[in-house]
Structure 1
Amino acid sequence: MGLILRLLVAAGLAADAIVHWRFAPEMSFVQGGSIDGELLFRVQAAVAGVVAVVILTYATRWAYALAFLVAASAVGAIVFYYYVDVGALGPLPDMHEPVWYAEKTISLAGEGVATLAALAGFFTAARTRREADAPYAPEHASRL
């Protein structure tokens, strides 16, 4: 089960990274903060890609937590900026985009799958580690 969760998280983050990297040049017109849209999309793509590699390399609670934060923040941003026009937020540009297209759906689906799989992986990794660290717990006493 752990391998499946890791692959789901990595695949979802990879979809997120690919879509953001491909659309980065088209977001150069987005201005408003000290960071333009192209840079923001490139940073998101890079972070998602790096975390995908991390989750494939390490199946620990912190890796799943990191993947959850990256994926859930991306889901939150895409939904928030679809419905709300808040303008520039600090260094972030005005990312309001009330339109929907196939690539946005692919990105949201990947981020959503990665979010849910990372959450499941976080709790699975915690349970597995706890069981591994406690071989002499009372429930294992009958084996001694």
Structure 2
Amino acid sequence: MAAGLAADAWIHWRFAPDMAPGPHAPGGTIAGDDLFRAQAIAAALAGLLVLVIANRWTYAIAFLVAASAAGAVLLYYSVDFGRLGPIPRMYDPAWSSDKTISLSGEVVAALAALAGFLTFRAPERHRATSSSR
């Protein structure tokens, strides 16, 4: 799971400069490079959280980060929404090996996080009972 999130973070961070808005970008939109950097940071933090504190909450966070990124790459590959409020037009119908790496990492991370969330059991705490005295 952490490796999938690391792949997601690496690809997004590497391509962030390519997503910078052009000189004629409409005002009021979030810059594409900022969105890519935010996704990279979110994926890196989610991966670290799962490595350091593995519990239902961190699995849920990892799932949301990975699944939302996988959904976005597939959606913006398939559909040209144009600008959505403050989100710039992100349509990109071209496929590349980098998208394959990113999507593979996101899907693996999302599935692993979902499995972790559904199967996580907190360690039982041993208590001395009054009947054992």
TM range (shorter): 0.7 to 0.9
Identical-residue share of aligned pairs (%): 56
Pair 1:12 & 2:15 matched: no
- 1:89: how far off? 1.0
Aligned counterpart in structure 1 of residue 94 of structure 2, from 72, 96, 99:
99
Matches of 2:80 and 2:113 in 1, distance apart?
A: 29
- Distance, in Å, in 1 between the alignment partners of 2:86 and 2:50 is 29
Return the alpha-carbon distance in structure 2 between the equivalents of residues 26 and 104 of structure 1: 14
In 2, Cα distance between equivalents of 1:62 and 1:74: 18
Q: How many residues align?
A: 124
* Deviation of the 1:133 alpha carbon: 6.3
For structure 2, list consecutive stretches of 5 or more residues without a partner in the other structure.
128-133
More helix by share: 1
Partner of 2:20: 28
Give the residue type in structure 1 aligned to 2:49.
Answer: V
| Cα deviation, residue 29, structure 1 | 3.5
2:112 maps to 117
- C-alpha distance in structure 1 between counterparts of 2:9 and 2:105, whole Å: 10
C-alpha distance in 1 between matches for 2:98 and 2:10: 10
Which residue number corresponds to residue 5 of structure 1? none
Tell me the TM-score normalised to structure 2 length: 0.87
- Aligned-residue CA RMSD (Å): 1.8
Q: Partner amino acid for 1:24?
A: A
Unaligned runs of 5+ in 1: 1-8, 136-144
1:52-67 correspondence runs (5 A): 52-67=47-62
Counterpart amino acid of residue 44 in structure 2: G
3-state SS of 1:56 partner: helix
